[in-house]
Each structure stands twice: as structure tokens, then as C-alpha cells.
Amino acid sequence: MTYNYKSSFLQKLSTRGFLYQCTHDQEMDNLFAEGPQKLYIGFDATADSLHVGSLLPLMVLRWAHLCGHEVILLLGGGTTLVGDPSGKEETRTILTKEIICTYTKGIKESVGKLLPMQDDRVRVLNNADWLASLNYLDFLRDIGSLFSVNKMLALESVKTRLDRAQNLSFLEFNYMLCQAYDFFVLSDQQGCMIQGGGSDQWGNIVSGVDLIRRKSGKQAYGLTFPLIETRDGVKMGKTAGGAVWLHPEKKSAYDYWQYWRNVDDREIERFLLLFTCLDEETISDIVKGDPNKAKIRLADEATRLLRGEEVLGAIHETVAALSQEKAPYTVTTTPEGFPVVNTDLPLYKVNRSFLEQDSLLMNLLIEAGAIESKSAVRRLIRDGALSLDGEKIQDELYQISLKDLIDPFVIHIKIGKKKNLLLQVLP
């Protein structure tokens, strides 16, 4: 459905493919066109970092901020204790308060440079601040009385669980009330009348809108975004190496860049629109050209948005070095005379004394922690997937000795076509 929005914000979202559902298309548009509004999106603390699956809502917040609106990033410190049953076929594992607390911290950090946290139009709140201290009976009377179980049972998220006779605990059943209450609190205390979320959040959002109307007679609004699946129908962000985390400590800038560099050709345009801030014309130009260049651009832009301009130089140097079969690292020396390897690739270290006793390559790799078992190394060598400094290893019992190593004692190991790592022999 294409609709011409008056507000620059919704128009942006619409043309870029962010919109899935809206509670009140036109009214919301009028609101955004009138002047600065407040928009909130919540993120539950189910892991110590967000991953690319959450990038889409984060980008919405970014656009809202760019369009002059105020954004609230709500950390689900309270709601995570309950566990959202939406979109889940099984009961979520119940996390302890302590874990959730450290997770919320990680989640906040993982947002990185996507939002200017110090800006006064960006706020980070935690719903534990009002949910944790609720009095059960008061809550039941004030909020619970306004909910219809009949209605809740009809909701998609609840229905699928009931239809499958999958256990839905009373705890989880209450998630919706908590999220609705969040919305009410934010509308009441912050004047935030608009909530966004993934399409699986529709039911939760709508019940918040409902609650606000019943409780304060005010009109609130909700909008949802599509869930992005890759061409194979797999939820975005899951790759061989697991989730594509946003937190720098869980995903190096180089790997993050590579994730975007390697997307399916057919996703290029969509991803450029969703995950970069390039304007639409530039994007359509990029898409007309060489897909590899387009993907590099996508990787550059996406990495820049999350991690900042400063990481790009080193990534490009590494990429260039690898393609030209040059050393993908540099070595500097500390004032004390110790060599320091500078690289974007994972660096494993092993003591020289180890090589003096054992010269089997596979043992070296295991000792360094680069590969987990001898079987794994053998498999790779048998498949012809392992190379050392550009030379393919054929022999499962390949020997390596100190004599083979030259000065900085760094070995570039390549596993398959894309995995590169370095192994440094400490003097």
C-alpha cells in the first residue's frame, strides 16, 4: 500500500520499506507533520547484546531522531522478568534479575553509534523502574480490570500458543499487560503517545493504545515494522557463526563488515534502504552498478552507522591485504622492545616453547585455541580448506618448526575461503 504522507518521517519510513501496520495512518501522519513527537520502542533484555534483527527498529528510532522527533529507547528490565510469549512457540527460559540487569547494560552499549545518546532528544528508560515496585492488588484493580480476557484470548500471539496446546503460563499471559502499562506510563509521565515495534508486537502495542484510551481518554498510536527474513526464509541475523551481534565485544568490526559484504545480491537494495541512511536516489544509482561495489558500500555504510567512521580504514586495509595476498597485519614495537601485532583479524597466541617440543601443525592450532580438535583440523586439511601464509596444507600430519618462521613469528591461517586468522608465536 502506498500512501503519500505529509510528515517527512512517515514518508521516509514508507518509501524505505519500514512500515508494516499502523493503528491510525492519517492521524499519526498529521501528528508527525505538526511538530516534534515522542516515539518509543522497547527492547527486552534476553541477551547481553542486540543483534541485527533489532537493527530495523533502531533505524526507525534513528530516522525519527533525524526528522526532529524525540525518541525513547525502553529497556525491558522489568518485562524480561515476565518473558514475551509473542512469536515464540515455547516458553522462554526464565532469567534471573541479576542476569537481566547485566543484559540491559549490554543492550544499551550495543546500540553503539546508531543513536546519539547524549542528545537531549534521545532518552533511555528502563521499565523495571516502574514495573518492579508495582503492588499486585493495586495493579489488578487499576489495570487488570480494564483488560478483557476474552479479547486477549483472541489475539494471535496467545491463540497460537493455545491452539497448539503449548503451555502458556499465567506469568507469560501477563506480559501484554506489562507492555500496555509501559505505554500508559510513558504516555502519562513523558507524554509519549506513539509506540513502535516489530510486527509480532502488534497485539501488545494495540492493547497499550486501548489501555491509554480507557485510562486517560487519550488517543495513542502504534506502528509496526516488518520482520526481515532472508531469501531462505531464515530470520535475519543468524549465520554460521551464530547471531550477528551489535555489541563490539561480541562481533568485531571486521566481521560485522563482512556480514554485509556477503549478503545475497537480491537483498542489496532492500538492505541499503533499511540499514543505511543514504538517500533514495543515491541508492538507486548504486543498485544499477556492480553488485560487489554495492555490497561494499552497504558494508561501509552499515558499519559506519553502528561503529563509527574510524573503524573503516583498518577494515579496508585488511580486505585489500587479503585480496593481494599481502600480510593482513602490521607489527610495531613497544618502547620495551616487544613486538605488537596490529590487525583486524582474530589473533591467537602460542608460546615459542610449545613449538620447541611439538611440531605438529594440528597441535599448534589447538594449543593456540584456533581450532577445537584434531579431528576438526584433519577434516579441514582433508577437504583442502586450510592454508598457511597462502600455501595449501595437504598433509594431515604437517610439521612446522621454528626454522620455518621468519621474524615477527606471525602465521596467517586461512580456513576455507573467508575465515582468516593470525597465529603469533611469542618469543
Partner RNA sequence: GGGGGGAUAGCCAAGUGGUCAACGGCAGCAGACUGUAAAUCUGCCCGCGAUUGCGUUCGUAGGUUCGAAUCCUACUCCCCCCA
Amino acid letter, residue 264: D
CB atoms within 10 A of CB 397: 10
Rounded to whole angstroms, the Cα distance separating 5 from 41 reads: 21
Give the nearer residue to RNA in terms of CB position, either 369 or 427: 369
Q: Which of 63, 69, 113 is nearest to 279 (CA)?
A: 63
Q: Which of 295, 357, 298, 328 is nearest to 419 (CA)?
A: 328
Question: Following DSSP, what letter does each residue of 319-369 receive, concatenated?
Answer: HHHHHTT--S-EEEE-TTS-EEEE-SS-EEEEEHHHHHH--BHHHHHHHHT
Give the nearer residue to RNA in terms of CB position, either 116 or 416: 416
Give the nearer residue to RNA in terms of CB position, either 21 or 91: 91
Q: How far is the CB of 172 from RNA (least distance, A)?
A: 14
Rule CB under 7 A: which residues touch RNA? 164-167, 232, 234, 239-240, 258, 261-265, 291-292, 295, 319, 322-323, 372-376, 378-380, 383-385, 415-419
Give the nearer residue to RNA in terms of CB position, either 33 or 322: 322
Q: Which of 8, 13, 246, 216 is nearest to 109 (CA)?
A: 246
Q: How far is the CB of 385 from RNA (least distance, A)?
A: 3
Q: How far is the CB of 261 from RNA (least distance, A)?
A: 5
CB atoms within 10 A of CB 67: 18
Q: Are 23 and 209 in contact (CB under 8 A)?
A: yes
Amino acid letter, residue 204: N
Q: How far is the CB of 168 from RNA (least distance, A)?
A: 10
Amino acid letter, residue 317: E
Give the nearer residue to RNA in terms of CB position, either 145 or 166: 166
Give the nearer residue to RNA in terms of CB position, either 117 or 322: 322
Q: How far is the CB of 136 from RNA (least distance, A)?
A: 27
Q: Which of 72, 67, 73, 66 is nearest to 5 (CA)?
A: 67
Q: How far is the CB of 277 from RNA (least distance, A)?
A: 23
Q: How far is the CB of 392 from RNA (least distance, A)?
A: 9
Query: What is the grid cell recorded at 332?
Result: 610495531
Give the nearer residue to RNA in terms of CB position, either 87 or 144: 87
Q: Are 131 and 80 in contact (CB under 8 A)?
A: no
Give the nearer residue to RNA in terms of CB position, either 215 or 378: 378
Q: Please tell me the number of Cα atoms within 13 Å of 58 on its side-chain side.
A: 26
CB neighbour list of residue 201: distance below 8 Å, 6 or more residues apart: 86, 179, 224
Q: Are 69 and 39 in contact (CB under 8 A)?
A: yes
Amino acid letter, residue 44: D
Q: How far is the CB of 371 from RNA (least distance, A)?
A: 9
Residue located via cell numbers 576455507: 416
Indicate the pairing of strand 410-415 with strand 419-426. Answer: antiparallel
Q: How far is the CB of 51 from RNA (least distance, A)?
A: 16
Give the nearer residue to RNA in terms of CB position, either 105 or 316: 316
